A and B are shown apart, each in its own frame.
Chain A
Amino acid sequence: MIEWVNAVVQGILLGGLYALFAAGLSLIFGVMRLVNIAHGDLIILAAYLGLTTTTMLGVHPFVALLIVVPAMAGIGYVIQRGLLNQTLGPDILPPLLVTFGLSVILQNALLEGYTADPQKLSGGVIETASVNVGGMALGVLPLLTFGIAVAVIAGLQWMFYSTALGRGFRAVSDNQDIAQLMGLNKAHVFGLAMALALAVTAIAGILLGIRTSFDPSIGGGRLIFGFEAVIIGGLGNLWGTLAGGVILGVAQTIGAKIDPGWQVLAGHIAFLVVLAVRPNGLFPRVSH
């Protein structure tokens, strides 16, 4: 019995990581209705940037965040203004195909730069440290990841509803043309949204890199996990995205408990079941 409780708790904590994968995706979709197929590869790019920073400067991956987060934010702003802004419009094909092309480019550029060998970020003692809660040993890293996910989503929520920047995001999300008339430069606002999304992605990438090994080919899988968390939780609802991540994580750990080969499959099946039963997700956004 305790094993199953343990699996559920581990799944909840894993869900924090998936929520971090998803938060950037959800933010971009909310602001500019863009679905970024390259999102997973950007997570992996952040992990590799973390790898380069830690090996060159000899610092802990958490310290590397000080470099990787601004770097990813900068990359996001440049990609958005230089490339993705040109694709936005009523036709869904250009953004989809351009981000798909970007995904292939990123994957192969990483392959060229870092080879296909699996890499890992070394987190030191934190990787193996654990605390004992009610007879279960909980890893400090998963707990920390979950805490960071909650903090990031709370921060995004606050930013979205209580700051001038968030007001700008909501304004262009509601009506781009009128927002433009009100003096907002939508190209700049979209750039900032992508910068923020990739800053979150940077955190997700570093935490992923400490938790498991990674190689250039795994981006697509991370995109799918993030996407499933968004859809399970309900589009446009950030706390829903956290819940979606948790449901996905729990489905995976329970699946793995039944048969190790079923871990990822169980997550996909949970997603398809939610899609069949509640097409709009479990917690669809009611209003702004």
Chain B
Amino acid sequence: MSAPIVTRATRASRNAMVIGAVALIILAAAPWWAGRADMRLMSEIFLYLSLACLWNLMAGYAGLVSVGQQAFVGFGGYMLFALTIWGGLHPLVAIPLGGVLAAILSIPIATLIFRLKGAYFAIGTWVVAEVFRLSFAQVGALGGGSGSSLPVGIVKSLAASRSGREALSYWLALGSAVVIIGAVYLFLRSRRGLALTAIRDSEVAASGLGIDIWRTKLEVYVVTSAFTAVIGGLIFLQKLRISPDAAFSVNDWTAFVIFIVVIGGIGTLEGPIIGTLLFFLLRETLADFGTIYLLVLGAVAIIVMLKAPKGVWGLVRDRFDLELFPLSYRVRQQPNQKGP
């Protein structure tokens, strides 16, 4: 008789890890092989990928469907400007500090808007983002409604040469995407991640097993807000200019992110990666058509939601039983009298 063994890793996931590691090395060397425009585009891709992973953790796992994450993107951006201009901090100190401040700020916000359920929660988060936008528009020292630019001295403090700065901000974008994907992956594999997955599958059953749903959701909300603010800081470190309308744009920082996750596959780790690649493919192809591309994007998202609610990755997974990030457990029969 043989005992069945339980594993998480599969051959596909091990291969994916090797390919991922190789790809990462190639991407990290981009400053030596890619042009300036390509590096900017890739940085943008990594930052959107980070935002998509974070939104996916909230909406796909914790069931917190927010349409107000632009609140924290903009907050992180504004903190970069405020802390470097007034506080005299180095940008690389100001950005994580902005994340910490966002985490602190998100706790009272959560206690308020967690009172709203489901879709009303979504619009509540939007109200909070509008409060942020209108409040920062009142701060005259940061340019009020018209915004301000990052002073040259602060930009130069990153690196002396232009190419040095571009390489640094590229690595920061790549690094943040890797850190966030890794952190979400390890979190979901942990005990708490298991609790979160249980909540996603059934809140009633999860609470019956003794999981504190409110607290788990709060933790996810706070951590996501902090990371989103860090990404916001990195986004505006690339743009070097901030204004309330750009910082708290619902289209740029929420609509696109939602479409990325939905099209790629919500509630999976692979989904945001596939979705980001598809989104940028679509954008670069249809960019010449202006608003048409947004029409197409909206229509694609609706069709995916109705016809394939698990997104592109959901289709692939159902068809081939693939999992690149091994999260679920698999039971395998051990071959008889063979192996150690």
Q: Do the beta carbons of A104 and B251 come within 8 Å of each other?
A: yes
Q: Which of A28-78 contact B (CB under 8 A)?
A: 34-35, 37
Task: Determine whether A231 belongs to the interface, using a CB cutoff of 8 Å to chain B.
Answer: yes
Q: Do the beta carbons of B298 and A35 come within 8 Å of each other?
A: no
Q: Do the beta carbons of B118 and A92 come within 8 Å of each other?
A: yes
Task: Determine whether B21 belongs to the interface, using a CB cutoff of 8 Å to chain A.
Answer: no
Interface of B is mostly: helix
Q: Do the beta carbons of B67 and A102 come within 8 Å of each other?
A: no
Nearest-CB residue, chain A, relative to B118: A92
Instruction: Please count how many residues in chain B sit with their CB below 8 Å of the partner chain's CB atoms.
Output: 41
Task: Determine whether B306 belongs to the interface, using a CB cutoff of 8 Å to chain A.
Answer: yes
How long is the Cα–Cα vector from A87 to B118 in the complex, in angstroms? 14
Residues of A within 8 A of B137 (CB): 261
Contact of A108 with B306 at beta-carbon distance under 8 Å, contacts A37-B122, A224-B130, A268-B134 already known: no
* B115 contact from A87, A107, A112, A279, Cβ within 8 A: A279
How long is the Cα–Cα vector from A80 to B255 in the complex, in angstroms? 22
Q: Do the beta carbons of B305 and A224 come within 8 Å of each other?
A: no
Interface centre among A34, A92, A102 (most CB of B within 10 A): A92
Q: Do the beta carbons of B120 and A231 come within 8 Å of each other?
A: yes
Q: Do the beta carbons of B255 and A87 come within 8 Å of each other?
A: no
Task: Determine whether A83 belongs to the interface, using a CB cutoff of 8 Å to chain B.
Answer: yes
Task: Determine whether A160 belongs to the interface, using a CB cutoff of 8 Å to chain B.
Answer: no
Q: Do the beta carbons of B291 and A112 come within 8 Å of each other?
A: yes
Residues of B within 8 A of A265 (CB): 131, 134-135, 138
Residues of A within 8 A of B65 (CB): 92-93, 96
How long is the Cα–Cα vector from A111 to B305 in the complex, in angstroms? 24
* A108 contact from B262, B294, B305, Cβ within 8 A: B294
A160-191 Cβ-contact flags toward B at 8 Å (1 or 0): 00000000000000000000000000000000
Q: Do the beta carbons of B118 and A220 come within 8 Å of each other?
A: no
* A35 contact from B122, B266, B294, B302, Cβ within 8 A: B122
B269-306 Cβ-contact flags toward A at 8 Å (1 or 0): 00000000000000000000001101101110110011
Nearest-CB residue, chain B, relative to A220: B250
How long is the Cα–Cα vector from A221 to B248 in the complex, in angstroms? 13
Residues of A within 8 A of B118 (CB): 35, 92, 96
How long is the Cα–Cα vector from A149 to B262 in the complex, in angstroms? 38
Task: Determine whether B116 belongs to the interface, using a CB cutoff of 8 Å to chain A.
Answer: yes
Contact of A104 with B297 at beta-carbon distance under 8 Å, contacts A35-B122, A97-B262, A264-B134 already known: yes
How long is the Cα–Cα vector from A261 to B130 in the complex, in angstroms? 13
Q: Do the beta carbons of A97 and B297 come within 8 Å of each other?
A: no
Task: Determine whether A239 belongs to the interface, using a CB cutoff of 8 Å to chain B.
Answer: no
* A261 contact from B116, B138, B251, B292, Cβ within 8 A: B138
Task: Determine whether B126 belongs to the interface, using a CB cutoff of 8 Å to chain A.
Answer: yes
How long is the Cα–Cα vector from A63 to B293 in the complex, in angstroms? 36
Q: Do the beta carbons of A101 and B130 come within 8 Å of each other?
A: no
Seen from chain A, the residues whose Cβ lies within 8 Å of a Cβ on chain B are 34-35, 37, 83, 86-87, 92-98, 100-105, 107-109, 111-112, 220-221, 223-224, 227-228, 231, 261-262, 264-265, 268-269, 271-272, 275-276, 279
